[in-house]
Structure 1
Amino acid sequence: MIKQRRHFHSFNALRFVSFLLVFIHHIPVNETSFLSYFTKTGGVGVSFFFSLSGFLITYILLAEKLEQNKISLKHFFIKRILKIWPLFYAMLLFAYLTPFFLDYSNLPSSSDGYKPNWWYSVFFLENYQMLFTKDFPNVSPLRVMWSLCVEEHFYLIWGFTLFLLPVKKLPKLILFCIFLAFFVRIIYFKYEILSIDIFSNIDYFAFGAIPAYLLATKNNILHLINNISLKTKYSIIPIILVCIIIFPLFNESILRFITPTIYGFLFSTLILFTLSSRNSILINDKYVISKLGIYTYGLYLYHTIFINLFIQLFKNSAIEMKNVLIAISSLIVTIVISILSYHLFEKRFLNWKRYFNP
């Protein structure tokens, strides 16, 4: 039996911050508002999710392989299924039934985007339908599910790869993934292909895998990071935040090709700063931001539903600061529904994960 997994403090808080970036990206914002700058950083939130996932999945697999000299792919995939599939397919059912409900209620439906091909949706291929059509599905929450498809593809690739690959060769794999994504994005840009598949995003996961490898193998680099003072680490955080805000503004320049690599490096650095045995950046689990981070999966899947709902409710309203009211209302309702969803639905499946430990 593998020893109890390490709990990574601060990760729930980081997840919630990532969700907020995505949320702000989707709310209606006046072009003159200071929040309009943050609407361009929504992709950063998704990318950080990828890096966090890359860290956690890599660490779980490496810890098991180093302790038991093998990886149980059966247990690994079952636990991923219990976490992702129940709410994913519940939301697919919701998306499938929504047009029928709107038609029955004589309510307007969105004419923007394509009508989903449910075979793509069911088999986690929504991102490829978006890629082929160069458009988005016309119903929520399918528009954000492309990232979950990328996550599922990562689980498959990374699970089998780490099962077969010797641990000492992982750094070469990480380096390969970083270069692969860089060149794939250049090719996609040339042919006007959306960067929404695993190959154009795998570097984010790889950058997350770097601190996982250093931690699992007790690499000396981690000891060097431990010696960096807490004051220095906190002084670097504002630099990371400024980069996150500024770099999307250079989207039309040559920087568009290296920005993801810079982001990946910053994400990896931030994760490393939370792992140190001393002088670590710690966001206590008792903080509200950390507690809300527990419900990030639901928050991510539900938020566009309620944003669109409140946009329709206030569409003909002459209320001043209407967009602010839409944002606050949709955020509050999303949080409440996500909490209920987690405790009444998702947790029933998550509790089964304990039966599939190595």
Structure 2
Amino acid sequence: MGSENAVSDKKRSYVYFPNLDGIRAIAALMVVVSHIEYHKNLFNLQRIGIPNLQNMGKVGVTIFFALSGFLITYLLMVEKGEFNRVGLKDFYIRRILRIWPLYFLIVIVGFFVYPRGASKEALWLSVFFMPNLAFCLQMLPSIFDPIWSIGTEEQFYIFHPHIFRIKKPENILYALVGITLALITINIIVRSIQNHNQFLSDLSLFLYYARFHNMMVGAIVAVLYYNTKHPSFKFKLQSAFELMFNKYVQIVIWICFILFVYLYTLSEIPQGDIVISVLAALIIVNLCETSSSIFSLNNSKLKYCGKISYGIYLLHKYPLYLMLYIAQTYLSSVGLFWQNLFIYVATLIAVIALASLSYYGFERYFLRFKSRFQKVSQNKQAVSS
């Protein structure tokens, strides 16, 4: 698009973390696997005897939120650092071009084509980016209810970039920490006093699905990480944060993450998503440092799935329901192994195929315009996702 861009290449900065596409891919596939097991009950199919699988989705979503908060914040810090300001108008246009086309396509299909029949209240809540409230009130049809998290992200974007109007980076950090602690405190208080009060129970559920605190955790880690690259202030735990890049500390973080995810998916742990978002954010920041990271997710297949992960996440239940229906109708007499082999392989192939069609046949058309509003791009050669 060259000379047509509102922001020329000479005025653009490039930031690219090759491992983060792999994180997107893993998080999206965790959601798919979780929903395969979770929705087997709808089709009277036997679940695999691993209780953790059906709860992996909430871990995948938490990783998505931490990653979103981290990456958006880091890019905003780079833009502010190199251009002395954050272009709010351009920020919102970029988010619209990335999120709205597929989101509204699913809203149109879900409410008017298949499955149809949802309430007008759910439709209007979805149109005005409150599907998380519709989800909490059990108004959304299950087949496209992943849109709830898009509402959460859009609500987060309303206020988050305005924090970067603050001049000093250390004050940005303090604001993020203060807001995060306030959100966590409100969550804990409401959850602890909700006893048999319907309004407080509904509020507690909505606050859980708001998940702003998960994104804010990623945002805090992003500011700390940016400060290690572009030192502008010192904070008391700076040396402790820089220890995160030590390989032995990384091993401890990974072990803690795996153990906690195992326990969290086995039984509900109050506010466990906060712990997962913290550990996920620390893993994300280590994966950004490819030279010191003990793992690499810079794999071509993972990168591809990461690129189309938005479509994987939003669209996966349509092919999933189809494969579960086929298994119920035509494979009820085969063994559990062969039935599940078909469900998992066919679902993953169909989900990736549909997400690919969505990305290359629909989403990419809008993403081509995104670079016109980017001072900080994530990729020099490809359309940013």
- Partner secondary structure for residue 217 of structure 1: helix
Instruction: Show CA shifts across 1:138-162 (max 9, x none).
Output: 2521x11110000111111102232
Q: Which residue of 1 aligns with 2:143?
A: 140
Question: Is 1:123 matched up with 2:128?
Answer: yes
How far off is 1:34 after superposition? 4.5
- Partner secondary structure for residue 137 of structure 1: coil
- 2:241 and 2:328 map into 1 onto residues whose CA distance is 55
Q: 1:341 aligns with which of 337, 358, 364?
A: 358
- The amino acid of 1:313's aligned partner reads I
- Over the matched positions of the two proteins, sequence identity in percent amounts to 24
How far off is 1:260 after superposition? 2.4
Q: Which residue of 1 aligns with 2:310?
A: 297
Q: Which residue of 2 aligns with 1:208?
A: 218
**Residues 158, 114 of structure 1: CA spacing in aligned structure 2 closer, same or farther, 3 A cutoff?**
same
**Pairing 1:28-107 to 2, within 5 Å after superposition:** 28=37, 33-99=48-114
- 1:114 and 1:291 map into 2 onto residues whose CA distance is 36
Q: 1:173 aligns with which of 172, 175, 179?
A: 175
Q: Which runs of 5+ in 2 are unaligned?
A: 1-9, 195-199, 376-385
Question: Is 1:12 matched up with 2:17?
Answer: no
- The amino acid of 2:324's aligned partner reads I
- 1:182 and 1:9 map into 2 onto residues whose CA distance is 31
Q: Which residue of 2 aligns with 1:285?
A: 298
- 2:265 and 2:190 map into 1 onto residues whose CA distance is 18
- The amino acid of 2:21's aligned partner reads N
How far off is 1:207 after superposition? 1.4
**Residues 249, 114 of structure 1: CA spacing in aligned structure 2 closer, same or farther, 3 A cutoff?**
farther
Contact 1:226 1:280 (C-alpha < 8 Å) held by counterparts: no
**Residues 32, 331 of structure 1: CA spacing in aligned structure 2 closer, same or farther, 3 A cutoff?**
closer
- The amino acid of 1:314's aligned partner reads A
Normalising by structure 1, we get a TM-score of 0.85
Instruction: Show CA shifts across 1:306-356 (max 9, x none).
Output: 111222233233232234422321211010111121112111111111111
Moved more, 217-226 or 314-323: 217-226
Question: Is 1:244 matched up with 2:261?
Answer: yes
Normalising by structure 2, we get a TM-score of 0.79
- Partner secondary structure for residue 192 of structure 1: helix
Contact 1:299 1:338 (C-alpha < 8 Å) held by counterparts: yes
Instruction: Show CA shifts across 1:106-149 (max 9, x none).
Output: xxx89xx8676311111111111233x2x2512521x1111000
Question: Is 1:155 matched up with 2:184?
Answer: no
How far off is 1:204 after superposition? 1.0
- The amino acid of 1:280's aligned partner reads S
- The amino acid of 1:95's aligned partner reads G
Q: Which residue of 2 aligns with 1:106?
A: none
Q: Which residue of 2 aligns with 1:265?
A: 278
Contact 1:211 1:268 (C-alpha < 8 Å) held by counterparts: yes
- 2:57 and 2:124 map into 1 onto residues whose CA distance is 28
**Residues 114, 33 of structure 1: CA spacing in aligned structure 2 closer, same or farther, 3 A cutoff?**
farther
Question: Is 1:330 matched up with 2:347?
Answer: yes
- 2:350 and 2:63 map into 1 onto residues whose CA distance is 24
Q: 2:326 aligns with which of 313, 322, 330?
A: 313
Instruction: Show CA shifts across 1:137-190 (max 9, x none).
Output: 12521x111100001111111022323564321222222233233233334432
**Residues 115, 306 of structure 1: CA spacing in aligned structure 2 closer, same or farther, 3 A cutoff?**
farther
- 1:125 and 1:216 map into 2 onto residues whose CA distance is 32
Structure with more contact order per residue of length (Cα contacts < 8 Å, sep ≥ 6)? 2
Q: Which runs of 5+ in 1 are unaligned?
A: 103-108
- Partner secondary structure for residue 298 of structure 2: coil
Contact 1:195 1:201 (C-alpha < 8 Å) held by counterparts: no
Contact 1:207 1:268 (C-alpha < 8 Å) held by counterparts: yes
- 1:67 and 1:144 map into 2 onto residues whose CA distance is 36
Contact 1:75 1:357 (C-alpha < 8 Å) held by counterparts: yes
